[in-house]
Amino acid sequence: MDSAASAIAQLGSLAASPQVSRLATAFATAGRELALVGGSVRDAFLGVPLNDLDFTTDADPDAILAIVAPIADAHWDVGRAFGTIGATIGGKTVEITTYRTDAYDGETRKPVVEFGDSLEGDLVRRDFTVNAMALRLPQLVLVDPSGGIEDLMARRLTTPSAPEVSFGDDPLRMMRAARFTSQLGFTVTGEVAGAMTDLADRISIVSAERVRDELSRLLRTPSPRAGLELLVGTGLAALVLPELPALQLQVDEHHHHKDVYEHSLTVLDQAIDLERERHPDDAPDLVLRLAALLHDAGKPATKRIEPGGVVTFHHHDVVGAKLAAKRMRELRFDKDTIGSVARLIELHLRFFGYTEGAWTDSAVRRYVRDAGPLLERLHILTRADVTTRNRRKADRLAFAYDDLEDRIATLGEEEELAAIRPDLDGEQIMAALGLKPGREVGEAYRFLLELRLSEGPLGEEEATRRLLAWHAAR
In whole angstroms, give the CA distance from residue 178 to residue 227. 4
Mean per-residue pLDDT over the chain, rounded:
90
Q: State phi, psi for 184 to the nearest 5 degrees.
A: -100, -15
For the segment 76-84, the average pLDDT, to the nearest whole number, is 88
Residue 253 pLDDT grade (very low, low, confident, very high; cuts 50, 70, 90): very low
273 in the same domain as 182 = no
Same domain, 248 and 235: no
Q: How many CB atoms lie within 10 A of CB 244?
A: 21
For residues 116 and 430, which has the higher predicted lDDT (pLDDT)? 430
Residues of the chain with pLDDT > 90, as a percent, come to 63
What residues contact residue 358 under an 8 Å CB cut-off, 6+ apart? none
Cβ–Cβ contacts within 10 Å for residue 332, how many? 14
The tens digit of pLDDT for each residue in 151-169 reads 999 999 999 999 999 998 8
pLDDT band at 416 (very low <50, low <70, confident <90, very high): low
> What does the alpha-carbon distance between residue 299 and residue 351 come to, in Å, rounded to a whole number?
18
Count other Cβ atoms within 10 Å, centred on residue 299.
24
Q: Is the peptide bond between 61 and the residue preceding it cis, with omega within 30 degrees of 0?
A: no
pLDDT, position 450? 86
Q: Could you give phi then psi for residue 91, rounded to 5 degrees?
A: 90, -5
pLDDT digits (tens, 9 = 90+) for 318-331: 999 999 999 999 99
Total tally of structural domains belonging to the chain: 4
Spatial CA neighbour of 349 closest among 391, 378, 306: 378
Domain with 5 in it: 1-148
Residue that is last in its domain, among 118, 148, 178: 148
User: Average pLDDT for residues 281-310, to the nearest whole number?
Assistant: 93
Residue predicted with more confidence, 341 or 107? 341
The region, left, alpha or beta by phi > 0 then psi within -120 to 50, assigned to residue 38 is left
pLDDT of 414 reads: 64
Q: What percent of the chain has pLDDT over 70?
A: 93
Check whether residue 216 and residue 322 sit in a common domain.
no
Is the same domain home to 265 and 386? yes
In this prediction, residue 309 has a pLDDT band, given cuts at 50, 70 and 90, of: confident
| Whether 301 and 401 share a structural domain | yes
Question: What would the pLDDT profile of 31-51 be if each residue is shown by its tens digit?
Answer: 999 999 988 899 888 888 777
Average pLDDT for residues 179-193, to the nearest whole number? 97
Least confident of 75-84, 351-360, 381-390, 412-421: 412-421
Are 45 and 5 found together in one domain?
yes
Nearby residues of 377 by Cβ (< 8 Å), 6 or more positions away = 285, 287, 288, 291, 340, 344
- In whole angstroms, give the CA distance from residue 179 to residue 231: 9
- Check whether residue 172 and residue 302 sit in a common domain: no
Same domain as 210, residue 298: no
Which is it for strands 34-37 and 53-57: parallel, antiparallel or unpaired? antiparallel
230/254 same-domain check? no
> What's the pLDDT tens digit per position in 377-414?
999 999 999 998 888 888 888 888 898 898 888 887 76
Do 324 and 373 share a domain, yes or no? Answer: yes
